[in-house]
């Protein structure tokens, strides 16, 4: 005789839907169109992603290149070689944390130029990944 304890084999699959806000939503839409935008305000200059200070501002085109300032291994990404990096996107006044795709972390040196990759965006992307810019 078996007793049903009411235990079910169910998977918990929460569904989250929330807005990135007026500025964040505009920024993400532009990024998915292959453009990087910065939000320019008198107090902070140009920030990307945008920081809403409540003051008036304007959108400005920035990037797609960035200067690498520092990087650390990214152990949370298992499918590709990636590092977490602090960069200064061309045209922005603030630094930004981004993922940088690379085969060998030793090839990444502070001061080198990176370029945005818009081809690897997914539904959760809030910034493009970056890669070492081709030599000119």
Query: For 19-53, what is each residue's pLDDT tens digit?
Result: 678 898 899 889 888 899 999 999 999 999 999 88
The count of other CB atoms within 10 Å of the CB of residue 57 is 20
pLDDT at 8: 60
Separation between Cα atoms, residue 92 and residue 115, nearest integer Å = 14
pLDDT at 67: 96
- Measuring CA to CA, which residue among 81, 108, 84 is closest to residue 95? 84
Q: How many CA atoms lie within 13 A of 134 on its CB side?
A: 2
pLDDT beyond 70 at 76: no
Separation between Cα atoms, residue 89 and residue 98, nearest integer Å = 10
pLDDT beyond 80 at 81: no
pTM equals: 0.77
pLDDT at 64: 92
């Amino acid at each position: 005789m078996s007793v049903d304890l009411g235990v079910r084999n169910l998977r918990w699959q929460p569904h989250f839907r929330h807005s990135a806000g007026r500025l964040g939503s505009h920024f993400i839409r532009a990024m998915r169109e292959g453009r990087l935008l910065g939000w320019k305000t008198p107090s902070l200059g140009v920030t990307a992603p945008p920081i809403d200070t409540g003051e008036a501002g304007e959108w400005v085109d920035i990037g797609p290149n960035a200067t690498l300032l520092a990087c650390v291994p990214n152990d949370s990404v298992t499918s590709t070689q990636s590092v977490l990096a602090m960069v200064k996107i061309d045209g922005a006044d603030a630094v930004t944390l981004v993922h940088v795709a690379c085969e060998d972390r030793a090839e990444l040196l502070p001061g080198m130029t990176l370029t945005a990759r818009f081809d690897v965006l997914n539904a959760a992307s809030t910034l493009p990944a970056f890669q070492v810019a081709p030599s000119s």
